[in-house]
Structure 1
Amino acid sequence: MHLAHLTGAGLGLRRGLLAELIGDHASGADFLEVAPENWIGVGGRLGKQLRALSECRPLLCHGLSLNLGGFAPLNLELLHAIKGFLDEHGVLAYSEHLSACADDGQLYDLMPLPFSEESVLRIAERVRIVQEVLERPLIIENVSAYARLPGELDEADFVRAVLERADCQLLLDVNNVYVNSLNFGFDAEAYIAAMPSERIAYLHVAGHYDQAADLKIDTHGAPVIDPVWALLSSAYARHGVRPTLLERDFNFPPLAELYAELAHIRSLQQAAQPLSRYGT
């Protein structure tokens, strides 16, 4: 299978969900997504369980520590380990965050970038190196943020510029757009509309935490809220239906509740089906 043939609603595979998903054979998910850093080199019972799931459901990978926006040299050892994992499990696609996450050491957070032309050129070159090492395309994700660094571009223009310069695809995280629109006061619908349809590979949705009216924290620890569902529906209307993944990292509810959210994704996709995959 190729990513272009993937459809439906997927679920982020977390170890806290593993036992239930194995027992259920992930019947409510059309595909699964894992962070390769959490699984590289893992054997024994956990490794066998991952293999069992990757054999019964298409698998995507979403990286955590590539540091695309950083200044430290790319970790080639990590890249080669990721390539081996992608090859071993027949992973359909690999995505990473459009952020910085390391300097002299791993920061364990996704740090904001300057939205500047210099950043665009530097990141595009790092994307090129990643794709050469992995021998496959890289998909980049728009990230949530809580501070802005100096730069002459707005966020949507910056993301578009990186996509064009690096000639790569986009993992459009709808919840991150919603969170940032409230944190920084921009129009979420306009941001979604500004994304290039032909470069959107798939989408993410998740829940977040309301720290304050003007501060939302992208936690992946709660159900998706109605405004994010509405924004997802708008993304389908604007760009056409794409495979969409639900992220849940902790505060896990019964699996049936996560499957209900996946069913809601499919209902929104079905409502948008008259559109082509790449919009009208």
Structure 2
Amino acid sequence: MLNKTKLIGAGLGLRREMLGQLTTVPASVDFWEIAPENWIPLGGKYPKILRQLTQQHQFSCHGLSLSIGSPAPLDINFVKSVKHFLDEHQIQSYSEHLSYCSGEGHLYDLMPIPFTEEAVKHVVQRVKQVQDIIERPLILENVSYYAAPGQEMSELDFTLAVLNESGCSLLLDVNNIYVNSINHAYDAEQFLASMPSHKIAYGHIAGHFDEADDLKVDTHGADVIEPVWQLLKRAYELHGVFPTLLERDFNIPPIKTLLHEVEKIKSTQALVALQNNSQRLA
């Protein structure tokens, strides 16, 4: 029987344009991830297709519009609709971005929350409110950002404060750490090592765009580069092997091509697991 309480292995983000290629669901994909906003309002054939997939395979949800750091009031009706969607499809893992995308209207982009103590308190209160509604731990992703308005504390200190004070879990996005380390000139491995292992629910890995040597843009529109693969391996060495999902949001190649990267996640997980076992036996 399918265990829907815990993610394992290597996953892949499911986009509707992939459905035509999924006449047979690849066995190498241990779990799939969807944005609930892309499925909640749909009618026609799509809900039926999704229902068939979620009944037979492990899924997580990665939201786009919770806007956890917004100054606007939390959209309670939206959170309740997400809760209904999670329950309907028996999905336990719901993650979102440690950012915001709404104010006096929807911004259609992920904006950086000011790194301040006041913002920590604001986000923590909203996280607890969301968790009370969805009746699950909220999983927050460390995000890429390109400016830090009103900054009073480091990205690292801000992220740790939110995790520690809210009780939420962490979606560890390795590519975002790499992108931010270039754009804001900090040590990616040091940041990675400072993440709390016990908070990591699962991870993301993705490609990005090189705007310049010192400016990387998190696009999810390209292959994962070797330094990011190496950082993922280091993440496993530091924190233990955790479930990890490949994100690809545009310039989406055929499923067979994406599966090569999914298999690379699995081979990296297996390599580090073997290393860890060897060290324990030594």
TM bucket normalised to smaller = over 0.9
**Residue 140 of structure 1 pairs with residue 128 of structure 2:** no
1:25/1:56 contact within 8 Å kept: no
Deviation string, structure 1 residues 23-65 (Cα, Å, up to 9, x no partner):
1224331100000011003232111111121122101000100
Q: What is the DSSP-based 3-state SS (H/G/I as helix, E as strand, rest coil) of the residue aligned with 1:86?
A: helix
- Cα distance, 1:174 vs. partner? 0.4
Of 243-252 and 26-35, more deviation after overlay is shown by 26-35
**Residue 216 of structure 1 pairs with residue 216 of structure 2:** yes
Q: 1:12 corresponds to which letter in structure 2?
A: G
Counterpart-to-counterpart distance in 2, 1:254 and 1:77: 37
Counterpart-to-counterpart distance in 2, 1:201 and 1:153: 25
Counterpart-to-counterpart distance in 2, 1:18 and 1:99: 30
Q: Percent identity?
A: 54
Q: What is the DSSP-based 3-state SS (H/G/I as helix, E as strand, rest coil) of the residue aligned with 1:260?
A: helix
Alignment gaps of 5+ in structure 2:
none
Counterpart-to-counterpart distance in 2, 1:83 and 1:74: 14
Q: What is the DSSP-based 3-state SS (H/G/I as helix, E as strand, rest coil) of the residue aligned with 2:216?
A: strand
- Cα distance, 1:85 vs. partner? 0.2
Alignment gaps of 5+ in structure 1:
none
Q: What is the DSSP-based 3-state SS (H/G/I as helix, E as strand, rest coil) of the residue aligned with 2:273?
A: coil
- Cα distance, 1:254 vs. partner? 1.7
Q: 2:263 corresponds to which letter in structure 1?
A: A
Deviation string, structure 1 residues 83-127 (Cα, Å, up to 9, x no partner):
000000010200010001100111110001111111111100000
Q: 2:132 corresponds to which letter in structure 1?
A: E
1:169/1:201 contact within 8 Å kept: yes
Counterpart-to-counterpart distance in 2, 1:151 and 1:145: 12
Q: What is the DSSP-based 3-state SS (H/G/I as helix, E as strand, rest coil) of the residue aligned with 1:139?
A: strand
Call closer, same or farther: CA 1:3–1:201 in 2, change over 3 Å: farther
Q: What is the DSSP-based 3-state SS (H/G/I as helix, E as strand, rest coil) of the residue aligned with 1:216?
A: strand
2:62/2:96 contact within 8 Å kept: yes
Counterpart-to-counterpart distance in 2, 1:125 and 1:113: 14
**Residue 74 of structure 1 pairs with residue 66 of structure 2:** no
2:92/2:136 contact within 8 Å kept: no
TM-score, normalised with respect to structure 2: 0.94
**Which residue of structure 2 aligns with residue 169 of structure 1?**
169
**Which residue of structure 1 aligns with residue 12 of structure 2?**
11
**Which residue of structure 2 aligns with residue 113 of structure 1?**
113
- Cα distance, 1:2 vs. partner? 4.7
1:58/1:92 contact within 8 Å kept: no
- Cα distance, 1:3 vs. partner? 4.3
2:139/2:170 contact within 8 Å kept: yes
Deviant stretches of 4+, over 4 Å = none
After TM superposition, the structure 1 = structure 2 runs for residues 117-136 of structure 1, keeping only pairs within 5 Å, are 117-136=117-136
**Over aligned residues, Cα RMSD in angstroms?**
1.4
Q: What is the DSSP-based 3-state SS (H/G/I as helix, E as strand, rest coil) of the residue aligned with 1:95?
A: strand
Counterpart-to-counterpart distance in 2, 1:16 and 1:189: 35
Counterpart-to-counterpart distance in 1, 2:270 and 2:4: 21
After TM superposition, the structure 1 = structure 2 runs for residues 165-244 of structure 1, keeping only pairs within 5 Å, are 165-244=165-244
1:140/1:170 contact within 8 Å kept: yes
Q: What is the DSSP-based 3-state SS (H/G/I as helix, E as strand, rest coil) of the residue aligned with 2:45?
A: helix
